[in-house]
Amino acid sequence: MSKCLRVGLVEGQELVRKLLKHFIAGSPGFEIVFEAQGVSEFYEYLRSTLADVVLLAVNLPDGDGLSACRWVYAQQIRLKCVLISERCTSYDVHRADELGVMGFISQGITPEILTEALGQVAAGRSFFSSEVLSLRRDLRNEAQSFPKILGKRELSLMPLFGVGMTDGEIATRTRLCVETIKWHRGRIVRKLGLDGIRDLMRYCLCNGFVRWQANGAFSPVEAGGQVSARASTLRVNAAKPSKGGDIGSSLFVARG
């Protein structure tokens, strides 16, 4: 009998999570080993539960799926990540490419594509849904795409400009002087060929530098992939393989 692929599921919306679980658990060769509603719960499961691949929502109630993925990679955890988003944006796709994420799909895919993505990434191959591939192609081919004309500092400021923060607020948050923030804002507007601050905010929203929250507010998407203080202090030990398993199947890399 072939071994089932062990899948972790991290999705904040209960209805969506149940639907994804139904699709995955109902497919031959797949087993759901944990379900988490957010980043903090996901980190707790990593302390004790073995999985081969995790389906990780980009937008979570207590954090950002890409930031969680960055943390997994930084901890050298043997866990493949497939991102899923209800609204794939250019900025999320850019961040995923920068991080080296091997799987990224949109929620509008079929159950067959969902399980194919999990299987391909678990096997060490990349898989991207058609919407993600289209955004990646545009970012790479368009001469005026933001990754090509904006520097790292400018990209890091875009989410803050996008939510309408003042130069003073951004200066306090970034520990830069107000004049430096003003200079970057004007330079970005000129580089992108935009017409002032409102046009810049609109650009940020359309390209995913900010997210629309359920409470009606906008929130900035952190460029640096910050994780919560809980994650930064979490001690993850090498998990023992389950009965009948081997050391090579352990989720965690042994740390010296």
What's the pLDDT score for residue 99?
94
> In 3-state terms, what secondary structure has residue 202?
helix
CATH no. of 5-140+228-249: 3.40.50.2300
Tell whether the model's pLDDT for residue 93 goes beyond 70.
yes
Domain limits, the chain? 5-140+228-249, 144-220
Binning pLDDT at 50, 70 and 90, where does residue 214 land?
Answer: low
pLDDT per residue as tens digits for the range 215-226 = 667 789 875 443
CATH topology agreement for domains 5-140+228-249 and 144-220: no
> Which CB contacts under 8 angstroms, 24+ apart, belong to 199-202?
200/161, 200/162, 201/161, 201/162, 201/163, 201/164
> In 3-state terms, what secondary structure has residue 8?
strand
Return the half-sphere exposure (C-beta side, CA atoms, 13 A cut-off) of residue 151. Answer: 4
What's the pLDDT score for residue 216?
66
pLDDT per residue as tens digits for the range 110-135 = 999 999 999 999 999 999 999 999 99
Q: CB-based contacts of 247: which residues, under 8 Å, 6+ apart?
A: 241
Tell whether the model's pLDDT for residue 245 goes beyond 50.
no
Tell whether the model's pLDDT for residue 21 goes beyond 60.
yes
Task: Tell me the average pLDDT across 75-92.
Answer: 94
Higher pLDDT, 226 or 71: 71
Centroid of chain to Cα 1: 34
Higher pLDDT, 245 or 32: 32
Cα angle: 108, vertex 131, 133; to 5 degrees = 140
Decide which of 1.10.10.10, 2.60.120.620, 3.40.190.170, 3.40.50.1100 is the CATH code for 144-220.
Answer: 1.10.10.10
**Total-model pTM:** 0.82
Higher pLDDT, 214 or 56: 56
Binning pLDDT at 50, 70 and 90, where does residue 92 land?
Answer: very high
Return the half-sphere exposure (C-beta side, CA atoms, 13 A cut-off) of residue 89. Answer: 19
What single DSSP character describes residue 209? S
